[in-house]
């Protein structure tokens, strides 16, 4: 039986010049960390909102453990340029509320199989 080991993601917010330096040593995923999401926003809505900036390869919403109202999301784009376009297009207003967007990178995760 093969099992996939759970992987934790690290999201790093850096000035652009440091992202470029980091990418020389590690393969990176590029995306946005999104804060101040309303309770009525779901992953499908976020995908629809951000798709005009590029190809979205992942979109996840997490509820903060200390509050059922506070939600964070990570939207990953296929390229760094797409993530930059989405970041620079702000401020972003979703369903009448301004969301906070932070450009982030995340080291690519290799899936490890155990048998």
- Residue ranges and CATH numbers for the domains of the chain are 3-114 (3.30.70.330)
- Residue 27 — pLDDT band, cuts 50, 70, 90? confident
pLDDT, tens digit (0-9, with 9 covering 90-100), for 92-105? 988 888 899 999 98
pLDDT for residue 53 is more than 80: yes
Higher pLDDT, 10 or 53: 53
pLDDT of residue 68: 54
Q: Is the pTM of this model over 0.85?
A: no
pLDDT of residue 100: 92
Rounded CA-CA distance 15/96 in Å is 29
DSSP 85-115: HHHHTPSEEETTEEEEEEEEEEEPPPP-EE-
């Amino acid at each position: 039986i093969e099992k996939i080991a759970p992987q934790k993601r690290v999201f790093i917010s850096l000035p652009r010049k440091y992202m470029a330096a980091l990418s020389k040593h590690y393969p990176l995923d590029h995306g946005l960390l999104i804060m101040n999401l309303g309770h009525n926003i779901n992953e499908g809505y976020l995908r629809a909102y951000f798709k005009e900036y590029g190809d979205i390869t992942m979109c996840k919403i997490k509820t903060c453990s200390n509050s059922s109202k506070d939600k964070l999301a990570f939207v990953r784009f296929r390229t760094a340029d797409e993530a930059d376009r989405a970041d620079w297009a702000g401020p972003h207003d979703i369903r009448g509320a301004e969301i906070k967007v932070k450009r982030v990178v995340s080291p690519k995760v290799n899936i490890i199989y155990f048998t």
